[in-house]
Amino acid sequence: MRRNTVIGIIVAVLMVIGSFAAHWVHEKTDDSDRTIKVGFIYEGDESAPYTFSFIRSQYALESHFGDKVLVVTRSNVREELAEEALRSLVDEGCELVFATSYGYGEATKKLAQEYPEVQFCAATCDNANTAPVLDNYHTFMGEIYQGRYVSGIVAGMKLKEMIDDGQLDASRPVVGYVAAFPIAEVISGYTAFLLGVRSVVPNATMIVRYTNNWSSYMLEKACAEQLLDDGCVIISQHSDTVGPAVACENVSSVRPAYSVGYNQSMLDVAPTTALVSTRVNWTPYLIAAVEAVQKHDRIEQHVKAHIHGNDAGAGFDRDWVQIVEINDHAVADGTQEAVAEAIERFDRGELRVFEGPYTGTDPTNPTDTVDLSRGYPENESSSAPTFHYVLDDIVTVEGEQS
């Protein structure tokens, strides 16, 4: 009798445990499919190509998750007001917040310390793995030097076409670059662009003009006009407006002038002179981060990328970097094929950009130099670019720096 009682008790206990287990699995499955509120803080709005590139990915996120994601945004937020905007997103119940500008990094990490239950992801920033390292603070960026290099190939092929056609003096092919600030992200980008150009036209040089502003249409357009006056025939940019593309289109009826854009196609404003654009595709990271938060998982476990602690980045191989709308009416013959080949080489890990018979100098510290004969592994330990050297003899910086 006692033995039967014991068996009965064991069976009853197992049934209870099974019931709890089934309930727990059911609850976990339901919880992983729950609706969460996601916040975005933007330095501009849809009129700014850089911001619109993020907004495009925000829309893709909403389309992917449907009613499982509620999005709250703050637009046109100046850096000094970032903390206030971020705090308002937390107050509205956001479990995940995306800060979309480098200038928001300090404020975002501060809020992450205050609100450990909220996940904060800062694009283009480089402070996730510096003390204090927080479980809920992450950084991410596409390895955009790859896109810069490929768009440089497009520009180089156009230069060569103009030289072969007699439109350009073969002894001094010069390209221009409208740059926002003399920081690693910008310097790395224009260096990769020039090295892409030189892979086709080995004696090409570049003139850089800084605006010391991320988003000023008039300044960017004026810098592009000055570069054209300096003899540049192709202008690229790391700045946020269409100003450089417009400058090239405006003068193209009297002299050769072509543009290479960033963040979006420039064909709407420069249909005859825009060659190509490149951009970071933020969508893969946004989707992975939301999936992780829904399931209460670590974000980096869901992101398909090169992971460096709490930081993630990738290039063409994971569709984090894209070439945008090659203008077949303006580019040189064979451009599409050359672009496809270069992207395939990146995918296979065969293309090393920062390598060759070059030396460079840190513009803020002349004792800090680099010799690229040994190569420089960009993005090896972070998603944010670290190459910060101006190449000696082939890059000229004009205008003020800060």
End-to-end CA distance of the chain: 90
Neighbours of 356 (CB within 10 A): 14
| 185/330 same-domain check | yes
CATH of the domain at 306: 3.40.50.2300
Write out pLDDT tens, residues 165-176: 999 999 989 999
96 and 162: one domain? no
> How far is the C-alpha of 280 from the C-alpha of 321, rounded, in Å?
5
- Specify which residues 362 forms β-bridges with: 365
Q: Are residues 185 and 274 in the same domain?
A: yes
> Is 10 part of any domain?
no
pLDDT of residue 394: 97
Does any domain span residue 51?
A: yes
Mark whether 180 and 87 lie in a shared domain.
no
Q: Are residues 133 and 163 in the same domain?
A: no
Residues 51 and 131 in one domain: yes
Assess if residue 25 is contained within a domain. Answer: no
- Residue 2 belongs to some domain of the structure: no
Q: What pLDDT score does 358 carry?
A: 98
User: Residues 191, 119: one domain?
Assistant: no
Q: Examine the domain organization and report whether 174 and 227 are in the same domain.
A: yes
Each residue's pLDDT tens digit, 332-370: 999 999 999 999 999 999 999 999 999 999 999 999 999
Q: Which of 317, 337, 371 delimits the end of a domain?
A: 317
Q: How far is CA 300 from CA 232, 303, 315, in A?
A: 43, 5, 16
**Residue 391 falls in which region: left (phi positive, over 0), alpha (psi -120 to 50) or beta:** beta
| Inside any domain, residue 8 | no
- Check whether residue 55 and residue 165 sit in a common domain: no
Both 207 and 255 in a single domain?
Answer: yes
- 300 within domain boundaries: yes
Say if residue 96 is in the same domain as residue 114. yes
Residue 17, in any domain of the structure: no
pLDDT in tens, 92-142: 999 999 999 999 999 999 999 999 999 999 999 999 999 999 999 999 999
Same structural domain for residues 128 and 233?
no
Cis preceding-peptide flag for 132 (omega within 30 of 0):
yes
Number of domains in the chain: 2
pLDDT at residue 402 in the model: 52
pLDDT of residue 179: 97
- Domain of 40 in residue numbering reads as 33-143+282-317
Share of residues in the chain with pLDDT > 70 (%): 91
